[in-house]
Structure 1
Amino acid sequence: MVSKANREFIAELKAQDPFTGTLVPIGDTGDFAKVRFVMRGEWAFYQEGGRATLLEAFAGRGVINRRSIKRWDNGKKITDEEREGIIERVSVALRQAGNEEIRVL
């Protein structure tokens, strides 16, 4: 379950206009995922369409914690396929932030 504090923080980030993070293409769909590193670069905000999540991603070290990618802000479980897509797109944002090597734990 996503905590109330995290849901509120995610809602603030979703409402941010203009968005100050990285826009990453979602395949050839023409859609973009929003990725922003928050909390001293130790977490990543990820939004795809109307749903979003927070995950552990250490921006300064190019590390993503796979186990932290659990639920969307609406409480629905993130599927394995969705998790892999999130990792792929957050990796793109980490590379754009200057990380040459990305490690997924």
Structure 2
Amino acid sequence: MLVFEVNDGEMMKSLTAQAEAAEITDAAIVSLIGGVDRFTISTMPADDATKDIVSTYALPAEMHGSGEIRDGKVHVHATMAVQGDRAIAGHVDEAHIGTWFARAYVIPRPVRDQ
């Protein structure tokens, strides 16, 4: 297992860069935890699962989630806990880290000989 840590900057870009540096193209992100300063998530409208509703929040949030790296692309779903004991969940498009951190616990897919 590898741990990718983000202490400052945009989380999705950083996780992608760290996966590339570790030469990981396929992996499970078995746990994601941290705190974000602001974030953008997307969800599907009830009447069309092929579309996305993208929402940006200028709110700090506690975060937990999971996901995968597939063909080098990081895909994360998370729940963001915000003031008022509310949860906002969905596909993470962006998450900006500055005050706290994010840690992704990553299990790479074994490389198989061809």
Output the TM-score relative to the length of structure 2.
0.29
Higher helix share: 1
Bigger radius of gyration, 1 or 2? 2
TM-score normalised over the length of structure 1: 0.31
